Amino acid sequence: MSDNEQGASSERTNPNILITGTPGTGKSTLAELASEATGLYYINVGELVKEKGLHEGFDQEFQSYILDDDKVIDELEQVVSKGGNIIEFHSCDLFPERWFDLVLVLRTDNTILYNRLEKRGYSQKKITENIDCEIFQVILEEARESYSNEIVVELQSNTIQDMESNASRIEQWVDNFKTKK
């Protein structure tokens, strides 16, 4: 087996799901709910980066950590290649394509997202940056460029009802994945 095939989707009995999207679109909220519903293991990459120091320092201008991609991949490789994970991060082009069976991109209307980010006490600069990211569909484009388009799904995340229906869609999708194996 070549390195490329190691941990490939065809070998997994439990799927790996990536939940991505602009900050504030609801990744953590959905990932936690979906993890409870499916029993898949929840990994918050942003938290892991902070906890394990998988970065090259803090960028004061952008108020965020400068990721060390190699360290992030090394840290996650073993657990992810076994399958059975829900992984959450606000970016998606750093991970190997073979890791994921489903890539969900959360989308939120601008005014709703604006209010959520303002509530968090983000600076005007950081709010504008994130709203622009959402308007220009940056993460959706990144996902489409990084993964097979068949596994990339856009999900609306404006309301609590959206969140609940997204969680039950994930639950059904996981059941279906396991039945086919």
Question: Which partner from the list ligand ATP, Mg ion, none does 90 bind, CB cut-off 5 to 8 Å by kind?
Answer: ligand ATP
**Cα–Cα distances in Å, from 57 out to 62, 68, 89, 131, 170?**
12, 9, 18, 25, 35
Cα radius of gyration rounded to whole Å, the chain: 16
Backbone φ/ψ region at 3: left (φ over 0), alpha (ψ -120 to 50), beta: alpha
181 in a known ligand binding site: no
Stretch that binds ligand ATP, among 16-24, 62-70, 94-102, 147-155 (CB under 6 A): 16-24
121 binding ligand ATP? (CB under 6 A): no
Answer yes or no: are the C-beta atoms of 81 and 5 closer than 8 Å.
no
Q: Are 87 and 2 in contact (CB under 8 A)?
A: no
Cβ 28 to Mg ion shortest distance, Å? 3
Q: Which amino acid is at 102?
A: L
Establish whether 98 is an annotated binding residue: no
Q: Token digits for 78?
A: 């073993």
Interaction between residue 157 and ligand ATP (CB under 6 A): yes
Angle at 90 between CA 133 and CA 82, to 5 degrees: 150
DSSP 78-97: HHHHT--EEEE-S--TTS-G
Residue nearest to ligand ATP (CB): 26
Binding residue for ligand ATP, selected from 7, 15, 24, 83, defined by CB under 6 A = 24
**Interface with ligand ATP, residue 6, by CB under 6 A:** no
Contacts to Mg ion by CB under 5 A: 27-28
Least separation, in Å, of the C-beta of 92 and ligand ATP? 12
Query: Choosing among ligand ATP, Mg ion, none, which partner's interface includes residue 15 (Cβ < 5 to 8 Å by kind)?
Result: none
**21 labelled as ligand-binding?**
no
CA nearest 46: which of 57, 36, 38, 55? 55
Query: Is 25 known to sit in a ligand binding site?
Result: no
Binding site as annotated, residues: 24, 26-29, 120
Detail the residues annotated as belonging to a binding site for ATP.
Answer: 24, 26-29, 120
**Residue ranges binding ligand ATP (CB under 6 A):** 21, 23-29, 46, 90, 116, 157-160, 162-163
